[in-house]
Structure 1
Amino acid sequence: MALIDSFKGLLAKPKEFFRAKMLNGYAPVFSQFGNNIYASDVVQNCIDIIATEISKLQPRHIRTDSNGMQIVQRGNLNRLFKFGPNDLMTTRDFLEKIIWLLYLNFNVFIYPIYTSTVGENGIESRTYTGMYPLNPYQVDFLQDPTGTLYVKLFFQSGESFTLPYSEVIHIRKKFSMNDIMGGGMNGQPDNEALLKVLRINDTVLQGLEKGIKTSMSIRGIMKIATMLDDDAQRKERERFEKLVSSGDSGILPIDLKGDFTPIAIDPRMVDKDTMTFLKTSVQEWYGVSLAMLSRDYKDEQYQAFYESTLEPILIGLSQAFSKTLFSPRELDVGNEIVFYQRDMMYLSTTAKLSLIKTAGEQGLLSDDQKLALLGYPPIPGGNRITQSLNYVDRSIINIYQLNNAKTGKAVKEDGEE
């Protein structure tokens, strides 16, 4: 594959490696990772909601100048982000894959492929040609004699690659006990608390299934008053079942040999509050409300979901991408990767009109941007920006009021009789 060839071209040169030393005393060798929680439909639905929303983001390479103005840069990074970061994925696929791997493993590694050139001034320049989310089954952290940290990735194909850790985008979830990896002490997903709830939920569902099957299958006992061998009993039972299936009137004619005793089975179902509690516990674990799961949310509910669940992921993505893709010098002059929300399309029509009114009066939106919020295409001359005259620059507000006061006084004097 082209991806494997790209890895082989940028492997670390053979040198002496040893295990990186951890402050907590653990050997930094991590295997990926159980996926038993994904048998739950609630878990999959919660992660799917998060992954779907993140996949709508628009990553951009920007630079903030000395005046605080953000300028979208022209270059290979934004070309990759616009349609597809690699040959196998669109940008939407790329972002969705990252989130699923993050929630599956509590860690996700993204490898940016690049070519490097050094100018006459001795400064390295990188041209990025692709980015790939990786799913290794084992990760080793190594050091060379100079203390430089490397990451050795093992894949199911049998391939393994050793790369400088500084050149791999590493995004973590629940980064707490381990010094390098997200998750628990061993760098694996810490899902034990969630698994307890899922086990109870599974037991309840199995009980419901068995209760329903039992109530639908055994209706009574057919007592045969005569001594019959096995074949005769089977024929008698088949004759009785035939009567049951053909009894349109609900009355079964039975001869003197047979006696049918009905069994009243009343399976006790789990109450609604218990089922709601189990489901809500899973939703709270992932920060996804019932309104989001049912896709029937209001603006305020989405805003709460964004601020509590999505925004931390956006910040983490931006910082991890920027830290790896840019040199310290490039970061110092304002380069960064920002993941923008997609045109606020989740807002209701009323909220969009309110946003257009407020932002439009401040001169923050062009005509085309206002049309885009309402779902309309751009128009000729749509880059025009208008602003209300009801606002004044704060630095000249005193002069503005004094001039108005003088003008009012002059008008009054002229109008006196």
Structure 2
Amino acid sequence: MELTRAAIHSFANSCSKLKPEIKGTAYKSLEKTLQFKPNEFMDTSKFIYRLATILSVNTTAFIIPIYSEDYETIKGYYPILPQRTEVVEAQGEPWLRYTFANGNKAAIELSRVGILTQYQYKDDFFGDGNGALMPTLNLLDIQKQGIEEGIKQSAMIRFMAKLGTNTRSEDITKERNRFAAENLSADNVSGMMMFDTKYSEVKQIDSKPFIVDADQMKLIQNNVFNYFGTNEKILQNSYNENEWNAFYEGKIEPFALQLSLVMSNMTFTPNELSYGNQIFFTSNRMQYASNTTKLQVSTQLFDRGILSTNQVMDVWNMAHVEDGDKRYIRKEYAEVNKLHDEGGDNNADSEKKGISEPNDTSAAGTAETNI
């Protein structure tokens, strides 16, 4: 159904903008691979989009690590469809056996695999599927068929004619075709319909367009929106910043959090995790804010040394600049890590002197300038 596909697409499309980053020294060299091309066939956007789509459709998505020749060093990641996988046991350990599109099979220890799930309840590894949505999908299908049939029927019959005598069925067909050709075709330029006494009655049928009950249609659509955690404005890209923030908090952020945990656990050892190594996915949520909000955030946080120049450029979706990672604070203005070198202590002393000795005009002038 186009409605369910649109709901899944808007979610996956928003997730595809997430940026993977690696914290810590272990596997830091893998960060660029994650940010540009996690595997031979997908860039990062397609990789995340497909994971989000598989998760929404199947409520389970697998991530397979791609190893170097030593079978220890990870050099990439690949998403696997759950329909092509099965969990088997070998020597007391669970393995994931999967089939590629070309029919080739492979297997890997389940402990090395990343597993994303939704609606996980009965199974230890898989989500419970989207069976709860099937009644709504059936209603959507029946509704669509009803619209199609209603349009066909309302557009098909225009006139009804009653013959005054008993006639064989094949003769009725011939007479209908003759009557339509002489009276209802484009050749009848006069616009007048004429018939002889063999017809006892001819009447025009007032055709009315088929209209589906709007309230019923809205109810069914809302069932889909509720199930996928979205709404009409998100699907049509007509949301404002508050509506986007609500969608992000309820839908995008939980996916980003689960993906971060899954990929961190499958990439790093427990010891590496204990030292703060992790993979996390970030999003510049300010891209969806109004220009007024962007301006307020940019000026207020930049002045206080919270945002660097390049981070402000990110807010406005502009290219980074040279030395843009430096932070500044009102002085007016000084680089944060050079406050002491540029006379921060001396300025503070001048302020004190100007306040305690008001007759000293030079000191008072310094304090006023600093303020």
- TM-score by length of structure 2 reads 0.82
Aligned equivalents of 1:72 and 1:202: distance in 2?
51
Match of 1:369 among 311, 314, 318: 311
Asked if 1:93 corresponds to 2:46, the answer is yes
Paired position in structure 2 for 1:350: 292
Match in the other structure for 1:218: 157
Partner residue of 1:255?
196
Answer whether contact 1:135 1:155 (CA < 8 A) is retained. Answer: no
Q: Does the Cα contact within 8 Å between 1:62 and 1:73 map onto a contact in 2?
A: no
From the superposition, tell whether residues 51 and 248 of structure 1 become closer, same or farther in structure 2 (CA, over 3 Å).
Answer: farther
User: Mean Cα displacement is larger for which, 171-180 or 343-352?
Assistant: 343-352
Partner-residue secondary structure (3-state), 2:193: coil
Q: Describe the SS at the equivalent of 1:345.
A: helix
Deviations 1:232-268 (A, max 9, x none): 5444322321211235565312222223133345566
Structure 2 vs 1, CA of residues 249 and 283 (structure 1 numbering), >3 Å: closer, same or farther? farther
Instruction: Name the residue aligned to 1:179.
Output: 124
Whole-angstrom distance in 2 between the partners of 1:78 and 1:366: 22
- Is the Cα–Cα contact under 8 Å of residues 46 and 286 in structure 1 kept in the other structure? yes
Residues 155 and 280 of structure 1: CA distance in aligned 2, closer, same or farther (over 3 Å): same
Amino acid at match of 1:175: Q
Of residues 20, 42, 53 in structure 2, which corresponds to 1:59?
20
Runs of 4+ in 1 over 6 A off after TM superposition: 400-406
Q: CA offset at residue 101 of structure 1?
A: 1.3
Per-residue deviation, 1:380: 4.1
Residue type of the alignment partner of 1:298: N
What value does the CA root-mean-square deviation take over the aligned residues?
3.1
CA distance in 2, matches of 1:169, 1:364: 35
2:38 aligns to what SS in structure 1? coil
2:339 match: none
Give SS of 2:178's match: helix
Distance 1:249 1:315 in 2: 73
Q: Map 1:11-410; keep pairs closer than 5 Å.
A: 40-63=1-24, 74-75=28-29, 77-115=30-68, 126-145=72-91, 147-154=92-99, 157-183=102-128, 189=129, 191-226=130-165, 228=167, 232-242=171-181, 243-246=183-186, 247=188, 250-258=191-199, 259-266=201-208, 269-342=211-284, 344-389=286-331, 408=355, 410=357
Q: Deviations over 1:60-115 (max 9, x none)?
A: 1112xxxxxxx89741x112112111111111111111111112221111111123
SS at match of 1:239: helix
Pair 166,73 (structure 1): closer, same or farther in 2 beyond 3 Å? closer
Residue 6 of structure 2 aligns to which amino acid in structure 1? N
Distance 1:408 1:48 in 2: 64
CA distance in 1, matches of 2:176, 2:316: 69
- Once the 2 structures are TM-superposed, how far is the Cα of residue 193 of structure 1 from its aligned partner? 2.5
Alpha carbons of structure 1 residues 409 and 105: separation in structure 2 relative to 1, 3 Å: same
**CA-to-aligned-CA distance 1:109-160 (integer Å, 9 cap, x gap):** 111112376xxxxxxx943222111125354434455x43322334565443
Query: Structure 1 CA distance, aligned partners of 2:316 and 2:78?
Result: 35
Q: Distance in 2 between the 1:404 and 1:176 partners?
A: 65
User: Which amino acid letter does the alignment assign opposite residue 129 of structure 1?
Assistant: K
1:14 maps to what in 2? Answer: none
Structure-2 separation of matches of 1:228 and 1:327:
88
Residue 168 (structure 1) shift = 1.0
- Preserved CA contact (<8 Å) 1:136 1:154: no
Q: In structure 2, how many angstroms separate the alpha carbons of the residues matched to 1:180 and 1:371?
A: 42
Judge conservation of contact 2:61–2:82 (CA < 8 Å) in 1.
no
Partner-residue secondary structure (3-state), 1:365:
coil
Which whole-Å deviations, capped at 9, do the CAs of 1:6-30 have from their partners, x for residues lacking one?
A: xxxxxxxxxxxxxxxxxxxxxxxxx
For residue 205 of structure 1, report the CA deviation from its aligned partner. 1.9
Q: 2: CA distance between counterparts of 1:136 and 1:198? A: 22
CA distance in 2, matches of 1:380, 1:311: 31
User: For the Cα contact (< 8 Å) 1:110–1:170, is it kept in 2?
Assistant: yes
Structure 2 alignment gaps of length 5 or more:
337-346, 362-371
Spell out, residue by residue over 1:159-190, the C-alpha distance to the aligned partner (whole angstroms, 9 max, x if none). Answer: 4333211111111111222222222xxxxx1x
Q: How far has the Cα of 1:403 moved from its partner?
A: 10
> Which stretch of structure 1 is more off in the superposition, 230-239 or 326-335?
230-239
Residues 82 and 227 from structure 1, CA distance in 2 versus in 1: closer, same or farther, beyond 3 angstroms? same
1:411 aligned partner: 358
Query: What amino acid maps onto 1:328 in structure 2?
Result: P
Structure 2 Cα separation of the partners of residues 379 and 336 of structure 1: 28
TM-score (norm 1): 0.74
Contact 1:361 1:388 in 2 (8 A): yes
